[in-house]
């Protein structure tokens, strides 16, 4: 079976790595000629609406995406000729933060207070209603902390408006959370849903840096997360993997956003789960039986940003798995990750003690936020 993927970044690369043993082959469409998945299949270089490239993808058996901002209209156009999974509507709702929040709230999934902001008077009215602190965000195209500004006082309003004004925005109430977490699940075309263990996440400057599973939460919180993601998957008639990002505040989980694709927070599943998120995504997309989402033990994932660390010393730590995305170094760019996997928490802690002195100061400092 031949799978077309819109986007050829590291997520597409890891899909292809997981799909090879299943007998799948791949074609990719990406605007970048050096997209890192291109080594593992046929790469078509062009914009998302490139007619000739889209026609080539339409000749595949299935089409999916590794990037949430592929225009939903392009996916809908492809769906007229080939099975596109997840469906275009899942991307359409997720590409507009106001629509996304309305969808989640309408499903009974708690979200932060939110208001549309298109003008300065809108911003003042939203601040009056929601209060400060709050976060001003673009409605479209923001990810990894881009397109947003934290407003702590009224003095922050004008600088934020100067930077973000002139486009559709939302103001979102600040959530005083205890920690962040992410729930990844997979749904088949027949409606079967399998949830991975909840993952605790640590971000810096809006970018994921660490992901630990299990998240170390109560059964009640874990149940809230799995129920919320299942409700969302069913409402979207979703096929494939999806991750719902959440804030934990006391005994409640509050949804931040969802990603209609495999997700950075679940990279630990490659070594740490019976079936990785990438393999299960492809199984769902290609109508193959879903694999188990159960954990093999405990796992901690490190995101490498900017440039890959020197690997020789790190690889000497027992249980460490290494992933180089074959991307050119660039400040802030996700270039790889490593996952530390152990049978139990005590064994993981022992391995982590050996790893800590080898980490850069910034990464080592973030470990304290895992609780």
Residue positions in the annotated binding site for ATP? 97, 137, 142-148, 172-175, 180, 203, 256-257
Cα gap 133→174, rounded to integer Å: 6
CB 364 within 8 A of CB 352: no
Strand order in the sheet with 2-6: 42-45, 25-30, 2-6, 62-65, 83-84
Which stretch of DSSP H or E encloses residue 310?
none
Nearest to 278 by CA among 22, 90, 102, 2: 22
Nearest to 251 by CA among 144, 123, 145, 110: 110
Instruction: Give residues with Cβ within 8 angstroms of 16, minimum separation 6.
Output: 5, 24, 26, 37, 40, 41
Cα gap 167→290, rounded to integer Å: 41
Nearest to 207 by CA among 337, 334, 36: 334
Cα gap 285→3, rounded to integer Å: 9
Which stretch of DSSP H or E encloses residue 205?
none
Q: Give the three-state DSSP class for 241.
A: strand
Q: Give the three-state DSSP class for 282.
A: helix
Range 334-346 burial, b when 16+ CB lie within 10 A, else e: bbbbbbbbbeeee
Binding residues: 97, 137, 142-148, 172-175, 180, 203, 256-257
């Amino acid at each position: 079976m031949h799978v077309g993927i819109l986007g050829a970044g590291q997520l597409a690369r890891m899909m292809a790595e997981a799909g090879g043993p299943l007998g799948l082959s791949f074609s990719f469409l990406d605007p970048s000629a050096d997209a890192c998945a291109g080594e593992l299949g046929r790469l078509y270089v062009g914009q998302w609406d490139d007619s000739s490239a889209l026609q080539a993808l339409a000749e595949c058996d299935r089409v999916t995406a590794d990037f949430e901002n592929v225009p939903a209209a392009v996916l809908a156009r492809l769906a007229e000729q080939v099975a596109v999974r997840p469906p275009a509507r899942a991307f359409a709702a997720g590409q507009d933060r106001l629509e996304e929040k309305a969808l989640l709230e309408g499903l009974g999934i708690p979200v932060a207070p939110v208001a549309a902001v298109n003008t300065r008077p809108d911003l003042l009215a939203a601040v009056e209603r929601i209060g400060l602190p709050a976060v001003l965000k673009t409605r479209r195209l923001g990810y990894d902390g881009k397109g947003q500004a934290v407003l702590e006082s009224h003095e922050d309003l004008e600088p934020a408006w100067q930077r973000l004004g002139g486009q559709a925005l939302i103001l979102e109430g600040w959530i005083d959370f205890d920690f962040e977490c992410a729930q990844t699940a997979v749904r088949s075309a027949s409606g079967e849903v399998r949830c991975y263990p909840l993952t605790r996440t640590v971000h810096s400057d809006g970018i994921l840096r660490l992901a630990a599973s299990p998240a170390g939460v109560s059964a009640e919180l874990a149940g809230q997360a799995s129920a919320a993601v299942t409700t969302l998957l069913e409402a979207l008639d979703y096929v494939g993997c999806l991750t719902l990002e959440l804030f934990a505040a006391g005994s409640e989980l509050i949804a931040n956003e969802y990603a209609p694709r495999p997700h950075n927070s679940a990279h630990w599943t490659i070594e740490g789960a019976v079936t990785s998120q990438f393999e299960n995504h492809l199984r769902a997309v290609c109508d193959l039986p879903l694999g188990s989402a159960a954990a093999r033990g405990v796992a901690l994932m490190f995101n490498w940003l900017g440039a890959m660390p020197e690997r020789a010393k790190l690889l000497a730590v027992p249980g460490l798995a290494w992933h180089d995305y074959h991307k050119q170094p660039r400040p802030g760019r996700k270039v790889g990750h490593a996952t530390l996997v152990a049978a139990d928490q005590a064994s993981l802690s022992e391995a982590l003690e050996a790893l800590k002195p080898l980490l850069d100061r910034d990464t080592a400092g973030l470990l304290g936020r895992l609780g």
